Amino acid sequence: MEQNKVDVIIIGAGLTGLTVAFYLQKAGKKVLLLEKSDRTGGVIHTIKENGFIYETGPNTGVVGTPEIVQLFDDLKDDIKLEVANAKAKYRWIWKSGKWNALPSGPISAIATPLFSLKDKFRILAEPFRKPGNNPEESVADLVLRRMGRSYLDYAVDPFISGVYAGDPYKLITKYALPKLYNLEQNYGSFIKGAAKKKKEPKTDIEKRVSREVFSVYGGLKNLTDVLTSKIGHDHIILNVSETKVNPHEYAYRVKFVAGDKTQEIITRKVITTIEADHLPSLLPFLPDNEIKQITNLNYAKVVQLIAAYKNWKGKELKAFGGLIPSKEKRDVLGILFTSSLFENRAPNGGTILSVFMGGINKPEIIEMTDDEIKKIALKEIKETLKTDQQADLIKIFRYQKAIPQYELSSGKRFASIEKIEKQYPGLILAGNIRDGIGMADRIKQAKQIAEKIIKK
């Protein structure tokens, strides 16, 4: 590829990189994607095996932004969004030896055994409490202040386990849950803020932000495969190594090894979408004090065990899945009921479960043997889902850097990213090191970056 024909080089062909490249190319920009692995998609990967379909990375997303709605509109001739089965809308929370549905409205909130009577009354006064004045307040401290201990223990703690595999005492609300933080800061209350936001005028596309859980038919890999096809394999180089970026006059020289050849390309814009700890070797020209603020990022270590059954005989799984609060002192974070959520993920009468273990509070689980992990997971399935039948398929996946934790260091990380991008025009540090960790966050960030470049 000729040097003067590349407008933008994107490093990392996960969902963020692919989405940026798709929109830039759609606008007529010449794009080159560099990927260190032998495939695109990053952590997103779907496997079809023995009649089952399962994910080895993210299992679901949420239709939470206009950008994700727009992406599926733009790809509608090639892919179809699949929203979760309405019968599986309930989230189960484990308490005192049984599952309880997480309340979905005021009546169920009053009736649930998950929350104490004191906290049920306490929530009535939530709209009248003063907003907090600590911008770096933890999620746990915020919830204790506004809603009470039982809400923290049996709603927020398991939610944080399900999303971040994290610790609500370490995650900072402003960074980890900015929408929740802004409800209190902008409206004075979660309840008042949610009510007022519902009444605010919305564009047609904003009205379609349904907050529904989604995948795509056939698995999430189909989404990244379609994006890859749209971009074109001529604009993607796989199995890239020794990539380094350095300033070159008013542009950047990108040097890398592909196959047995070292290549150099000059481009005015470079977008990185990779993990924080890979940035120092990729961008050796950055000041140590700034790059250290970015690499000071903690990742949750997570183990996922897939247990698939062709003829399920356990508890009826009419739910999204079950989350285990830390207070319950069990060995798993939760169990996702994938085949209850989406069609054709298991044979008729069968089921497929994803058991998640480890996280910030139990990182040692990732070092266990397969047999030890299997023993833990099958024990949890037996005791919580009432079956000791043999699984027809078991697979174990370990993720050393599963989910970045938006903890106290995040403010300095975001400030350093902003400073670096101002100091080095044309360099954009993207990916889940900022702007959120979910699929909707990745797509939103990617589209906004693309739009900014297109407008210049």
Residue ranges per structural domain of the chain: 3-42+220-297+406-455, 115-202, 299-404
pLDDT in tens, 292-332: 999 999 999 999 999 999 999 999 999 999 999 999 999 99
Residue showing tokens 């309880």: 100
Contact present, 327 and 411 (Cβ < 8 Å):
no
Q: How many Å is the maximal CA-CA distance in the chain?
A: 69
Give Cβ neighbours of residue 260 (< 8 Å, ≥ 6 apart). none
Contact present, 66 and 205 (Cβ < 8 Å):
yes
Fold (CATH) for 299-404: Polyamine Oxidase; Chain A, domain 2 (3.90.660)
In this prediction, residue 1 carries a pLDDT of: 45
Q: Helix and strand tally (H, E) in the chain?
A: 17, 20
**How many angstroms separate the CA atoms of 437 and 343, rounded?**
26
**How many angstroms separate the CA atoms of 409 and 426, rounded?**
25
Residue 179 backbone phi and psi in degrees, to 5? -65, -40
Helix (H) or strand (E) holding 372: helix 370-385
Q: Under CATH, domain 115-202 is a member of which superfamily? A: protoporphyrinogen ix oxidase, domain 3 (1.10.3110.10)
pLDDT in tens, 104-143: 877 888 899 999 999 999 988 999 999 999 999 999 999 9
**How many angstroms separate the CA atoms of 283 and 247, rounded?**
9
Report in angstroms the alpha-carbon separations of 141 from 169, 397, 446: 7, 33, 32
Tokens of 307: 């247990």
Rg, C-alpha atoms of the chain = 23
Residue numbers in the chain where pLDDT is lower than 50: 1-2
Tokens of 222: 């189909």
Residue 311: count of CB within 10 angstroms of its CB: 12
Report in angstroms the alpha-carbon separations of 135 from 13, 149, 174, 180, 366: 34, 21, 7, 12, 33
Q: Under CATH, domain 3-42+220-297+406-455 is a member of which superfamily? A: FAD/NAD(P)-binding domain (3.50.50.60)
Report in angstroms the alpha-carbon separations of 264 from 3, 242, 259: 8, 12, 14
Tokens of 356: 């998640």
Rama region for 188: left / alpha / beta (φ>0; ψ in -120 to 50; rest): left
Residue showing tokens 């994006």: 227
